[in-house]
A and B are shown apart, each in its own frame.
Chain A
């Protein structure tokens, strides 16, 4: 089983649509969870952290289900500028405090005019 698994897409949605991405992770000891976005040939940019039962930031809502080892991201009222690859990222437990990140392969989103 992959450490972090995502549906690769692509998701092609019209402007204004609501779109949801799902992610599962294999290590039940993982403690921190994130969504990053990555534009073509650019660096991953932190979109939001997902702690405990989830959180909301404007049009973006992230949910975490520890029992199912499942993370989701919901984008409401999608904009053209939301077009990117969305990366599900999990903080890998390790000895010491310098946690490494484990990335999913990403889900590609294209928002169409």
Chain B
């Protein structure tokens, strides 16, 4: 069964550094998403991406964040200058034209 994959599984970085989180959505999916979950809190929407552009973004997704789909398979989230409060699990999700979203295993980002 096709799955969303994410790399790396765990990323440790120092405050102020740039990180790129990578996702490979399910191949025939059209819509792509990033969510995050701070430890002990609920899953929060960051951004949605469709037809090679951002469809929506939340208040969390400020100028420090960007997304790209550089080729036909990868979908990346870049955080330009990480802060301590960016420490969280970051989940990529994708879907077809139906509404059900399928999540990748996540990248645990630790900012020290």
Q: What residues make up the interface of A, taking CB atoms closer than 8 Å to B?
A: 31-32, 34, 41-46, 49, 87, 91-92, 94-106
Contacts and interface: CB of A to CB of B under 8 A. Distances in A.
B49 A98 contact: yes
B106 interface: yes
> How many B residues touch the partner, as a band?
20 to 34
Contacts of B56: 94-96, 98, 100
Contacts of A99: 48, 99
Contact of B105 (A42, A97, A98, A102): A42
A43 B93 CA distance: 10
A87 B101 CA distance: 14
B42 A46 contact: no
Contact of B106 (A43, A87, A106): A43
Contact of A100 (B48, B105, B108): B48
